[in-house]
Copies of this chain bind each other. A is one copy, B any other.
């Protein structure tokens, strides 16, 4: 067994693989008109700079998951959420981890009182272009790919 700050590892007798327990996460596809706000950041786990939707670990005790998603949008983009609705959820890798990411569609507007986090670059593009970026491999993060596909199917 291993017990870390984020994850813990369970070793199951007779099972070939370990199970990694994860607290879960929230993510939102933030829309300004027909545009989506993405974030570009270096991910040291994979050693690459990735284009993703705003997201975060569910690490605030008792926080509703939609509030978690709205908070992450504000923190990472500097835009505040005016409407939010659930899109579903994604199980990132159910062969080895219980991580579930709850996905939301958010309508957002600039919040003049809030600056985005410095370490995150915000990239604005038409939602249709983001959908194309999923298809051509520019967006490879699973929650972002699924969230964009679900948002494009939902958005009129």
What is A's interface to B at a CB cutoff of 8 Å?
2, 4-7, 9, 11-12, 15-20, 22, 25, 43-48, 50, 52, 55, 57, 88-101, 134-135, 137, 140-143, 145-146, 149-150, 153
Contact = CB atoms under 8 A, between A and B. Distances in A.
A75 to B, nearest CB: 14
B143 A93 contact: yes
Contacts of A18: 4-7
Nearest to A87: B137
Contact of A6 (B16, B57, B89, B92): B16
Contacts of A52: 94
Contacts of A45: 19-20, 94-98
Number of copies: 2
Contacts of A5: 16-18
B153 A94 contact: no
B11 A4 contact: yes
A17 to B, nearest CB: 4
Contact of A140 (B12, B16, B88): B88
